[in-house]
């Protein structure tokens, strides 16, 4: 097989149902035209008493309760992107043949792996509300025939045998050609292909020669390749503006699924999600969420976004939303045999992202001390996947209490006697009962960021505090527990 086709029959109808979940079990039809001339173009299986071509008035009489809708390109946009993203999981060379058909160039691909990928692709699309079919063959046309016959995946291995019993209608003859063929008793592609091509052309014209090629599965063409997405972003409007979370979350999920599919097709995962709102009063709101564990799991994304949205109060109603995912290559690593891993890694990284959404990306993680003596110098890093074995006990174990910092430090005025602090005034007051120190440290004297600090531990009536002199200023840096 050299080509594959993924198609979603009644695509517009399924896209409409994805955008309006309330229509799931109701009889629905899409109409074209206005007033009395409006006719049904696509009909859901629930409306069995009507068929495409029926006028809207007749349809309502024959099928009470039928829901009629016109085509809305906006409804189908994210569904169309999903279908395209699914096609990109099979090959980077795809063609957007029509709204419901994607043709994929499989040349060079492994047959067995591709067939398995087609099954996965169809299952995923069906899960997302787009019941798809996939077919594969040696030409784009054969792949399309296969997709039309697939339940839900069909790979043509013997072309002649496959075409033999297909109705002539598959080759799309003109009405005049169809009438002649019917008079000749030609009802299947196999019987049409059995006739000599030259004689068909001589009797029915050059168009009939093309029809014969289509019937024999020999018609081929060059695909108009569709470029893969260069950025992973989705933007949508609300008309009228919205002021509650529910409609936002509904569309957020749909577009998140779309972005996740596109990322998976490109072999990437999302490292950062950026959510932007445009409000009715022309103001805007932006927030970036760095995912603790980059991935394409939509439920995790939504939990992270929801953790932020639940506490968000905006000054005006929402008119426009955009969601952008920053892609990175998925990291692949293997843990050591004796490493202590996580009980549930998915939950761990998901919850870490939710915590980051609540308090900020830079405020959660594992502290890593900087290589300096400068006080309060550390960075917060991503927690390790597995906890390494403990290091040997330190040669000089820690002594005294543990500092708890006041951030920011509290400025005080210090009275001194014999070069040592004796009394505090300002944000903290009191006579100093005992004092330890000083400990002096300095660094980066060669740069404008030179620093120096003199630290004391002072005992007041209630507790022990860490007092520091930075230049001429005194501050209480924290309490020693």
Cα radius of gyration rounded to whole Å, the chain: 34
Please, which residues have CB within 8 angstroms of residue 13's CB and are 6 or more apart in sequence? 28, 29, 30, 42, 43, 44
- Taking CB under 8 A as the binding criterion, the range among 198-206, 210-218, 232-240, 397-405 that sits at the site for another protein is 397-405
Given the complex with another protein, which of 319 and 358 has the nearer CB atom? Answer: 358
Q: Is 400 in the site for another protein (CB under 8 A)?
A: yes
Q: With contacts defined by CB under 8 A, name the span among 79-87, 321-329, 382-390, 421-429 that binds another protein.
A: 382-390
Half-sphere exposure of 466 (CA within 13 A, CB side): 22
> In angstroms, what is the minimal distance from the CB of 377 to another protein?
7
At residue 273, φ and ψ (nearest 5 deg) are -110, 135
Q: Does 385 bind another protein (CB under 8 A)?
A: no
Give the x-and-dash track for 415-454 against another protein (CB under 8 A). ---------------------x------------------
Q: Is 225 in the site for another protein (CB under 8 A)?
A: no
Spatial CB neighbours of 316, under 8 Å, sequence gap ≥ 6: 241, 279, 280, 281, 283
> In angstroms, what is the minimal distance from the CB of 77 to another protein?
34
**Is position 348 an interface residue for another protein (rule: CB under 8 A)?**
yes
368 touches another protein by CB under 8 A: yes
**Binder among 131, 241, 383, 443 for another protein (CB under 8 A):** 383
CB atoms within 10 A of CB 429: 11
Beta-strand (E) ranges in 165-256? 232-242
> Does the protein bind another protein through residue 185 (CB under 8 A)?
no
Site membership for another protein, residue 120 (CB under 8 A): no
CA-CA distances (angstroms) from residue 143 to 151, 387, 392, 434? 14, 51, 65, 88
The yes or no reply on residue 141 touching another protein (CB under 8 A) is no
Taking each helix axis as running N to C, give the angle between helix 111-127 and helix 73-88, from 0 to 180 degrees, rounded to the nearest 10. Answer: 150
Contact between residue 18 and residue 79 where contact means Cβ atoms under 8 Å apart? yes
Cα–Cα dist 70/16, whole Å:
10
Q: To the nearest whole angstrom, how small is the minimum distance from the Cβ of residue 343 to another protein?
A: 5
Distance CA 406, CA 478 (A): 5
- By the rule CB under 8 A, 388 interacts with another protein: yes
Give the x/- contact pattern for another protein in 454-473, rule: CB under 8 A: ---x-x----x---------
Residue 312 binds to another protein (criterion: CB under 8 A): no
Which residue number, 102 or 354, has a Cβ lying nearer to another protein? Answer: 354
Query: Taking CB under 8 A as the criterion, which residues in 324-343 touch another protein?
Result: 340, 342-343
Token pair, residue 149, equals: 């016959």
Figure out which of the listed residues 9, 375, 430, 452 binds another protein, where binding follows CB under 8 A: 375
Nearer to another protein, 230 or 398 (CB): 398
Residue pair 80/19 in contact by the 8 Å Cβ criterion: no
CA distance 384 to 149: 51
Q: How far is the CB of 448 from another protein (least distance, A)?
A: 24
C-alpha angle 307-383-340 in degrees, rounded to nearest 5: 120
Using CB under 8 A as the criterion, which residues of the chain lie in contact with another protein when the complex forms?
307, 311, 340, 342-344, 347-348, 351-352, 354-355, 358-359, 363-369, 375-378, 380, 383-384, 387-391, 394, 397-407, 436, 457, 459, 464, 478, 480-481
């Amino acid at each position: 097989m050299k080509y594959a086709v993924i198609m979603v029959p009644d695509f517009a109808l399924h896209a409409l149902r994805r955008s309006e979940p309330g229509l799931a079990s109701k009889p629905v039809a899409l109409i074209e035209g206005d007033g009395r001339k409006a006719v049904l173009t696509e009909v859901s299986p629930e409306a069995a008493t009507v068929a495409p071509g029926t006028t809207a008035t007749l349809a309502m009489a024959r099928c009470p309760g039928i829901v009629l809708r016109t085509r809305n390109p906006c409804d189908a946009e994210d569904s169309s992107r999903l279908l395209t993203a699914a096609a990109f999981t099979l090959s980077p060379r795809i063609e957007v043949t029509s709204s419901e058909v994607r043709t994929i160039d499989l040349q060079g691909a492994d047959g067995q792996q591709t067939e398995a990928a087609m099954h996965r692709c169809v299952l995923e699309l069906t899960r997302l509300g787009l019941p798809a079919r996939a077919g594969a063959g040696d030409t784009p046309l054969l792949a399309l025939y296969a997709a039309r016959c697939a339940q839900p995946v069909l790979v043509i291995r013997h072309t002649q045998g496959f075409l033999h019993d297909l109705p002539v209608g598959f080759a799309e003859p003109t009405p005049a050609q169809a009438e002649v063929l019917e008079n000749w008793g030609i009802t299947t592609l196999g019987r049409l292909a059995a006739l000599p091509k030259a004689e068909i052309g001589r009797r029915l014209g050059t168009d009939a020669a093309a029809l014969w090629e289509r019937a024999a599965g020999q018609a081929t063409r060059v695909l108009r390749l569709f470029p893969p997405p260069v950025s992973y972003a989705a933007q949508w409007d609300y008309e009228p503006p919205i002021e509650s979370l529910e409609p936002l979350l509904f569309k957020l999920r749909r577009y998140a699924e779309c972005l996740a599919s596109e990322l998976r097709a490109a072999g990437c995962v999302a490292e950062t999600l950026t959510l932007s709102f445009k409000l009715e009063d022309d103001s805007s709101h932006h927030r970036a969420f760095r995912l603790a564990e980059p991935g394409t799991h939509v439920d995790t994304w939504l939990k992270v976004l929801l953790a932020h949205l639940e506490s968000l109060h905006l000054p005006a109603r929402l008119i426009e939303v955009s969601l952008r995912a920053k892609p990175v290559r998925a990291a692949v690593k293997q843990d050591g045999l004796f490493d202590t891993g996580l009980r549930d890694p998915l939950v761990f990284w998901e919850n870490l992202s939710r915590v980051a959404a609540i308090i900020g990306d830079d405020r959660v993680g594992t502290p890593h001390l900087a290589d300096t003596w400068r006080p309060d110098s550390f960075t917060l890093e991503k927690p390790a996947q597995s906890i390494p074995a403990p290091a040997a006990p330190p040669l000089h174990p820690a002594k005294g209490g543990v500092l708890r910092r006041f951030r920011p430090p509290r400025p005080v005025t210090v009275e001194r006697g014999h070069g040592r602090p004796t009394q505090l005034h300002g944000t903290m007051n009191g006579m100093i009962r005992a004092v330890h120190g000083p400990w002096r440290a300095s660094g980066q004297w060669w740069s404008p960021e030179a620093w120096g600090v003199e630290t004391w531990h002072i005992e007041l009536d209630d507790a022990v505090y860490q007092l520091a002199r930075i230049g001429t200023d005194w501050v209480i840096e924290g309490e020693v527990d």
